[in-house]
Structure 1
Amino acid sequence: MWASGLCGVLSTSPARRQASNDPSVLSDRQEDSSKDMALESPVLLSSYALCGQERSFAFAQPVGEVVATAADEVRPALSAVERAVGQGLHAAGFVCYEAAVGLDPAFTTRPAGALPLVYFGLFAERTPVTAPGAGLGTYELDEWRPSVSREEYEAAIARIHSYIAAGDTYQVNYTLRLHSYFQGDPLALYRDMGQVQESALCAYFDLGRHVLISASPELFFRLSDGRCTVRPMKGTRPRGRFAAEDQQRADDLQHSAKDRAENLMVTDMLRNDLGRIAQVGSVAVPALWSVERYPTVWQLTSTVESQLKAGVSLPDIFAALFPCGSVTGAPKVRTMEIIAELERAPRGIYTGCMGYVSPGSEACFNVAIRTAHLDRESGQLEFGVGGGIVWESSAAGEYAECLTKAEVLRARPYPSFELLETLLYEDGAYFLLERHLERLSQSAAYWGFCYADDRVREQLQDV
C-alpha cells in the first residue's frame, strides 16, 4: 500500500554508507560522486488526500544506502535493495528517468544530470506520521522561466507531427522545464504543493545540496501480496469556477475522443508491459477512463492489475515497466529516441519514480510528475511539465495544458474552513430538504470534502 505520500529524507554518514557497502553496487567512484548526496532529514512519503485510506510514513536514521551512478549499476542496485528488504530492512528512494538505459539497452536518453540514477536509503523501520502541516518556515520564489520559448515549443510539436505522419510514433510525451530561484524552507514548499494538489503520492527527499519535492497524483506501481497495480494518468482539464462549469469540464474530459484515445493507448502499453511479468490470463483493467478530481485539475486515469509470476524480482518489475508509458509515448523505444532528440536537457527525477519497498513483498512508487528539484548551491528550482502529443494535438492546446499542470506551483492552500448549510425546521419537517442536501453535496464535491449522505440524514433525524 502506498505510504500515503512519500516523505523521504535519508540522512547517512560516510560510515553508514561504508557499513552497507555491497561491492557489486557501491564502487569507489560511486562513493566519491555521492559525498554530497547524504540524506539530511527523514524521507517523507506523505498523503494529502482528504478522503481515502492512504497513510503517510517517515523513514529516519538510515543504516545504509544503495546508489547507482552508471547504467550498468542500475540492475545490481535494485537487486541490492531487494536483498536488504529480504533481510528485514525498509528501502525508500528514487529512480531517475535516465536509469532506463540500465534496464533496457534499447532505450535512449540524454546523459544523466546531477542526481544519481538510483538512490535508496535503508532503514530498520518506517514510522506512520501525519503529513507536514503548520509550524514550518517560509519561502520565496522568483518568476518562473520556461526552458523553451513559445516558438521553440511549437516547432517541437510540428516535428512530432512529422514523426507521427511518417509512422515513427503514435504519441510522444514532450516535456519542458520551468526554472525559478528559491529561498527559504523547502519542506514548507512540499507542504504547500501537497495540500494544493491533495495528492496521496507525495515524496520529499533532502539530500543536502539537492532536495526533491513531489506532489505527484500518479501511481507508477503498487505491489501487495504478489499483485501489481498500475494507474496511468493521461488527460487533463482545469477545474471550473463553480459547480456547473466544473462538472461540465469533467464530463468533457471523460467523453473527449482525443483524451480517451491517448489514455487507451497508454493503458494498452501498460497491459503489455505487465504481461511480461504476470501470470497468464491475470492482467485485467478494472477501471477504464476514470475521472479524478484535484484542486486545480481533472485527470483521466485507468487502472490495470495483474498477479505476478513466481520468482519475479524487483529488477524484473522495473525492467518491464520503467519508465512509465504515460511519460514516454508509444512505441516506447522509438519514442524515447525522439524525446532525447527534442528535449534539451536530462529529465532527472522528473518522470522517474519515488517510493518505498518493505518486507512482505510490499512496494509503492509514484510517477514523479508535479515534481520539483532544488539545487541549494545555486538556489535554482526546476519543475517539469509536459503532455502526450498525438496527431490531433495542437501546440496551443498542449501549451495551455502545461500551464494548467503548473498551477500547483502558483496556488496556495486554502485556509481551513468548513461548509455550513442552514435549513428551516418547521412542524416536524425540514423545508426543501432534498434541495438543501443537493446543494451541500455539490459544494462538498467541489471543495473535496468527504460527504456521506446517509450519515447526514441520520444526524438530521436526531436533532
Structure 2
Amino acid sequence: MDTRIDFTLPQEAAGTGAAQARLRRRFGAARTVLAAHAPHEVRAVLDAAEDAARAGAWCVGFVRYEAAAAFDAALVTHAADGPLAWFAVYEEALPWEDDETPGEAARLTWRSSLSRADFNHAMAQIHEAIADGVFYQVNYTAPLRGELQQGSAEALFAALLRAQPGGYAACLDTGAEQILSVSPELFFDWDGRRILARPMKGTAPRGATPAEDMAREQALRSAPKERAENVMVVDLLRNDLSRIAEPFSVQVPRLFHTQALPSVWQMTSDVQATTRAGTRLADVFAALFPCGSVTGAPKVAAMRMIRTLEPQPRGVYCGALGVLRPAGEGQMHATFNVPIRTLALRGRQAVCGIGSGITSGAEAGGEWREWQHKSAFVERASQPFALLETLALEDGAWRHLPEHLQRLQDAARHFRYPWPAQLEQCLADLAAAHPAGLWRVRLQLDASGQARAEAFACAPTRAPVCLQLAAAPLEDRWAQGEFVRYKTSRRAHYEAFAPRDPAVFDTVLFNEQGEITEGTRGNIAALLDGRWVTPPLACGLLAGVGRRVALRDGRASEGVLRLEDLPRVQAWAFINSLRGWLDAELELPR
C-alpha cells in the first residue's frame, strides 16, 4: 500500500486567499525508515526526520500516544504495542490522481469493547475524581474492534475519505500494520518559526433539516458545557506553547469556531505563537505532546486516570501523525494531525478508537450518544451502499419525478457520490419500455456515479392496511443518523423491524425518547384531536416524497406523536410516493 497524505493547509500556511489549499501527495518506495522502540530513542528519530526534511527529503510518519514518557516521565501510559515513533523518508512526493480506483469495496463488521454498564461506571469514577479536585477534564476513550471481511486497506481508506472528507487524512503502511487516518483535527502546523495549534473540543449531531442543523450549530457554539471544554483545552495549549514561544507571542486569534462534518458539528479554536530561535521538532513535541484535546487537564493527572480506565494502549490513535516537507534553503515545514477518526489494521483485524472529553457537566447518556455520532464515519465506510429512490411509473409517466431527483441529488451531495450524466436517459429508456400499467421502479446510484434502474410490476394495495407497533425503539445512533435521513440500500436497521406476519403491511417505529417516527417502508400520519399529523424530521425519519406532498397539499401538518398519545389516535394512514395515502389500522400491544 502506498503512503498517501491529503492535508488541508491552514490559512496561515497556505497564504492569503488560499484557506482551503491542500497538500495531496503519494509516495513510492522509502529511502529509509526511522523507528524508535524505546522512549530514549524518540527524540533521535524526530531529530533525524527533521534533518532529512531540511536536506530536501519528505518524511511521513507518526508518534504513538505511548511515546509521552519520552518527553516527560510523569506522563504515564500503558506499554506500547508497536514502535513509539516511525517515519518513512522519501526522495520525492508524487502526484495523487483523482481517478485512481482501489478495487473491490471494503466490508467490515464492528463490535464495541465497552458495555453501557462499564461506560456508566467509568463516568461515575471520573465525576468522583473531578469532585475531589484531581483534574477538571479527562478524555475517555474505548476501541471499536472489527474484521476486514472483503477488500483491501486501500479500498477501506477510499471509503473513509468519502465518509470523512477534508481535514488531515493519511494512510501509512509500516509492514506490521496499516494506519488509516481521516482526522479533522490539526495538532500543529510549524514552519520553523510560526506555529499554529487548532484543538477540537465540543460536539453536536447534525440536524435533519437546514433550520435544525443551524440551530444545533448555534446551540453548540453557545452551550456552557461545550465552551467550558473548549476553553480548558485552549488554556492548556496556551500554557504548552509558552514553553517554546518567544515572550508575549502566544495568541488566541479565534475561539469557538464551528466546523461541519458529515455526522457532527465540531468546535475548534486557534492558538498560535512564534517559536524561539533554535527550537527543534523534538522541542515542539516535548512542549505539546500528547495534545491536550485527547488527554484532559491537568495533563499529568488526566493521563493517570486514562491509564486506570482504559485497559489497552491507544497506539497511533490520540498520538500524532504528519508530514515534514522541505521548504528550501535548509528549512522545513511540519504539519501533524491529532489522529482521531483513525483506524489501525493488522492483517484483517481493525481497531478504531472513539472518545470524548468529560467534565463535571457531562452526563452519561449524552456522552454515550456523542460516541455513537462520532462513530458514524466508520459505519458509513464499512459497507458499500447505493443511494436509493423508489418511484411509481404509471402508464409511461413518472409520479413526482422532480421531487425524487432532488432528494437523490441531496443525498449524492451529502455522501459525495458523483452525479451521473446518463441518469435522465436511463429513466427515459425505462419509461419507453413500460408504456402501460403501474410499475415500481428501483433507482440506485453507487459510489462511482453509476445509475441503475429496474422496474417491477406493482399490484394495487387494498386498504385499510394493517400496521404493528415496534417491540423496541430504534436506537438513536440510527434514528438520528444519516442512514435514516437519506434513503440508501443500507437498511438493516429497518429490516430488523420488518413484519414477519404476511397480514401486517408495515411496522410503526419509535425512537428512544418515545416519539413515533415512521414505518420501515414509508411515513405515517395519525388523526389526533381532529387533525392529521405526521412526525417532524427532528424525531428521526426519512423525508418521504409522499409525506412532502401531503404536507404541501395541506392534508397533514407536522406534530410530535408520543407513545402515550396512541390510545387517543382516531385514525391512521401510511404514506409513500409509490402507494400514495393509504388508510391504515394500528394494532396496539395488549
Global fold match (TM > 0.5) = yes
Q: Does structure 1 retain, via aligned residues, the 8 Å contact 2:179–2:343?
A: yes
Name the counterpart of 1:103: 71
Deviation at 1:140, TM superposition (A): 1.6
Name the counterpart of 1:43: 3
Deviation at 1:415, TM superposition (A): 7.3
Name the counterpart of 1:86: 54
Is 2:135 the partner of 1:178?
no
Secondary structure in structure 2 of the residue aligned to 1:411:
helix
Q: Please, which runs of 5 or more residues in structure 1 have no aligned partner?
A: 1-40, 417-438, 450-463
Deviation at 1:393, TM superposition (A): 0.5
Secondary structure in structure 2 of the residue aligned to 1:298:
strand
Name the counterpart of 2:29: 61
Q: Which whole-Å CA distance do the structure 2 matches of 1:380 and 1:272 have between them? A: 39
Q: Which whole-Å CA distance do the structure 2 matches of 1:211 and 1:390 have between them? A: 33
Q: Which whole-Å CA distance do the structure 2 matches of 1:399 and 1:131 have between them? A: 37
Secondary structure in structure 1 of the residue aligned to 2:201:
strand
* Counterpart code for 2:267: L
Q: Does structure 2 retain, via aligned residues, the 8 Å contact 1:59–1:125?
A: yes
Q: Which whole-Å CA distance do the structure 2 matches of 1:316 and 1:89 have between them? A: 21
Deviation at 1:75, TM superposition (A): 1.1
- For the aligned residues, what is the CA RMSD? 2.3
Q: Which whole-Å CA distance do the structure 2 matches of 1:178 and 1:132 have between them? A: 31
Q: Which whole-Å CA distance do the structure 1 matches of 2:324 and 2:102 have between them? A: 30
Is 2:84 the partner of 1:117?
yes
Name the counterpart of 1:221: 188
Label 1:132 to 1:228 Cα distance change in 2 as closer, same or farther (>3 A): farther
Between the aligned residues of both structures, percent identity stands at: 41
Q: Which whole-Å CA distance do the structure 1 matches of 2:101 and 2:415 have between them? A: 20
Task: Write out the 4+ residue segments of structure 1 that deviate beyond 3 Å after TM superposition.
Answer: 130-135, 412-416, 446-449
Name the counterpart of 1:37: none
Is 2:370 the partner of 1:401?
yes
Name the counterpart of 1:372: 343
Is 2:127 the partner of 1:161?
yes
Is 2:239 the partner of 1:272?
yes
Deviation at 1:167, TM superposition (A): 0.5
CA displacement 1:187-231 (0-9 Å, x = unmatched): 111111112111230010122331111110000001125111110
Name the counterpart of 1:3: none
Q: Which has the larger radius of gyration?
A: 2
Deviation at 1:85, TM superposition (A): 2.1
Q: Which whole-Å CA distance do the structure 1 matches of 2:191 and 2:56 have between them? A: 16
Is 2:42 the partner of 1:74?
yes
Name the counterpart of 2:558: none
Label 1:119 to 1:84 Cα distance change in 2 as closer, same or farther (>3 A): same
Q: Please, which runs of 5 or more residues in structure 2 have no aligned partner?
A: 10-18, 388-405, 417-590
Across the two proteins, how many residue pairs are aligned to each other?
379
Is 2:20 the partner of 1:52?
yes
Label 1:133 to 1:174 Cα distance change in 2 as closer, same or farther (>3 A): farther
Secondary structure in structure 1 of the residue aligned to 2:138:
strand
Deviation at 1:131, TM superposition (A): 5.6
Q: Does structure 1 retain, via aligned residues, the 8 Å contact 2:130–2:136?
A: yes
Q: Which whole-Å CA distance do the structure 2 matches of 1:414 and 1:222 have between them? A: 36
Is 2:333 the partner of 1:362?
yes
Q: Does structure 1 retain, via aligned residues, the 8 Å contact 2:245–2:273?
A: yes
Q: Which whole-Å CA distance do the structure 2 matches of 1:103 and 1:149 have between them? A: 34
Superposed counterparts of 1:285-300, under 5 Å: 285-300=252-267
Name the counterpart of 1:147: 113
Q: Which whole-Å CA distance do the structure 1 matches of 2:315 and 2:106 have between them? A: 24
Q: Does structure 2 retain, via aligned residues, the 8 Å contact 1:47–1:131?
A: no
Superposed counterparts of 1:409-424, under 5 Å: 409-412=378-381
Tell which has more relative contact order, 1 or 2 (C-alpha 8 A, sep 6+).
1
